[in-house]
Amino acid sequence: MNQKCIVFCLLFFPFLHCSRSNPTHANDFKILSDAFHAGHLTVVRSRLVEIKNDRDLTKEEVALYAKTLFYLGEWKEFFAHWAGVSHKTPELILLYFKAVFVSSLPVIVSAEDESKLIELLSVSPEACLLYLKLNQSKWQGKQRKLFLAQWKQFQTQVDRLQKQLGEIK
């Protein structure tokens, strides 16, 4: 009986420890997220740097850190952080390309990052604008027609949304 109890404790306590750490991370993230939305960007940045020194950031913390650096205008740190981001969400991709244009730093956009932006063209007018700005001197007549057609599709979607919202009232 004692051996069974010891085996149970050895198996159960590590699980209990792991399950307790996740709510702590979630609670910390909620506090950081609230501070970010309240405009306390330097505090959020400092805390995320501390967390980054102690452990790997979660996906949510990576995104929050990138947004914080972007809004603080810390371009060198933003681009250094971007190089280490493995999970690049559409929001982060758009943020990255905005940073490329807003910062005065010379940034070489990788083909992989450009392809991620291209994937967003069909769903994001903002991605279209960023892509056009990125390839301003490169686009030809066929691409121009394609983007005008894309604009018409976005306009149709906006018109449908406006009609639906009008019917809801």
pLDDT tens-digit readout, 5-24: 444 444 444 444 444 446 67
- On whether residue 142 sits in a domain, the answer given is no
> How many domains are contained in the chain?
1
Comparison of pLDDT for 149 and 30, the residue scoring more: 30
Of the pLDDT bands very low, low, confident and very high (cuts 50, 70, 90), residue 2 is low
- On whether residue 54 sits in a domain, the answer given is yes
Q: What does the pLDDT read at residue 66?
A: 95
Mean of pLDDT values over 54-82? 94
Comparison of pLDDT for 15 and 49, the residue scoring more: 49
User: Has residue 67 got a pLDDT over 70?
Assistant: yes
The answer to whether 64 and 44 are in contact (CB under 8 A) is yes
- On whether residue 102 sits in a domain, the answer given is yes
pLDDT tens digit sequence for 129-154: 888 888 876 666 666 676 677 777 77
- On whether residue 41 sits in a domain, the answer given is yes
- On whether residue 166 sits in a domain, the answer given is no
Of the pLDDT bands very low, low, confident and very high (cuts 50, 70, 90), residue 3 is low
C-alpha distances out from residue 149 to 63, 78, 144, Å: 32, 34, 9
Widest CA span of the chain, in angstroms? Answer: 81
Q: What's the half-sphere exposure (Cβ side, CA atoms, 13 Å) at 125?
A: 10
Q: What does the pLDDT read at residue 27?
A: 84
- On whether residue 123 sits in a domain, the answer given is no
The answer to whether 102 and 130 are in contact (CB under 8 A) is no
Domain ranges, residue 95: 2-108
User: Has residue 49 got a pLDDT over 80?
Assistant: yes
- On whether residue 11 sits in a domain, the answer given is yes
User: Has residue 64 got a pLDDT over 70?
Assistant: yes
Of the pLDDT bands very low, low, confident and very high (cuts 50, 70, 90), residue 111 is very high
Which alpha helices (DSSP H) does the chain contain, by range? 2-37, 41-54, 59-72, 75-84, 90-102, 111-120, 125-134, 141-168
User: Has residue 82 got a pLDDT over 60?
Assistant: yes
Q: Which are the contacts of 128, defined by CB distance < 8 A and separation ≥ 6?
A: 121, 147, 150, 151
Comparison of pLDDT for 126 and 148, the residue scoring more: 126
User: Has residue 28 got a pLDDT over 60?
Assistant: yes
- On whether residue 57 sits in a domain, the answer given is yes
Average pLDDT, the chain: 81
